[in-house]
Amino acid sequence: MQAFFHGFILAFGLILPLGVQNIFVFSQGVTQPNIYKALPATLAAALCDTLLIVLAILGVSMLVLQFEWIRLTLLIVGILFLCYMGKVIWNAGASNFENNRALSLKEQVLFAISVSLLNPHALLDTVGVIGTSALKYKGFDQTLFTVACISVSWIWFFGLMITGSSMKKLQISGKVFLLFNKLSALFIWGTAIYLAISLI
């Protein structure tokens, strides 16, 4: 079970920090009228993570690490995306929480896909860390490692959705959620700056 526990702990450590994916899934738990309405965002985020993990372990990570221009392209696109997402979260916070605007099913899915597949942290963590760590395992051990990483994503995103929905039921002041959005936007911009510095 060493491979399973390695994958579980590694994936948990990577998904734990505050990021665009986590913020979005949590916010849907808060803004949707009930927990079931937040399922599209949660499922889309978990499925995208599953796709990235499987592709990384199948060998895409080696391709990206071999060609520097691919890594640079991912970073540049990701930095621009993070700057844009920070702006969206900073400006849209008031309308989402004060007016209780809930995204439609289509909007949830598209947004979740974009924050999952265009997020440089998610891509580089999956490719550079999970993909390369999986190389030490073969056969059934590698399968256990993969299952552990995927399980963490599903458990984490459903946990965020349930937590967001539970906090809404507690009738916490909207100002708390607005502050959370502002801090989240600052964190995302900080991440973009950190990635930009790494390019220099």
Full residue range of the structural domain in which residue 137 is found: 2-199
Task: Over range 72-82, report the average pLDDT.
Answer: 76
Q: What is the pTM of this model?
A: 0.73
Is residue 102 predicted with pLDDT exceeding 80? no
Q: How far apart are CA 128 and CA 120, in angstroms?
A: 11
- Checking phi first, is residue 116 left (phi over 0); if not, alpha (psi -120 to 50) or beta? alpha
Residue 29's nearest CA partner among 132, 127, 169, 133 is 169
Number of domains, the chain: 1
For the ranges 43-47, 98-102, 114-118, the lowest mean pLDDT is seen at: 98-102
pLDDT range class, residue 43, cuts 50, 70, 90: very high
The per-residue pLDDT for 159 is: 93
Instruction: Tell me the per-residue pLDDT of 119-171, one tens digit each, with 9 for 90 and over.
Output: 776 777 777 678 777 877 888 888 899 999 999 999 999 999 998 888 776 66
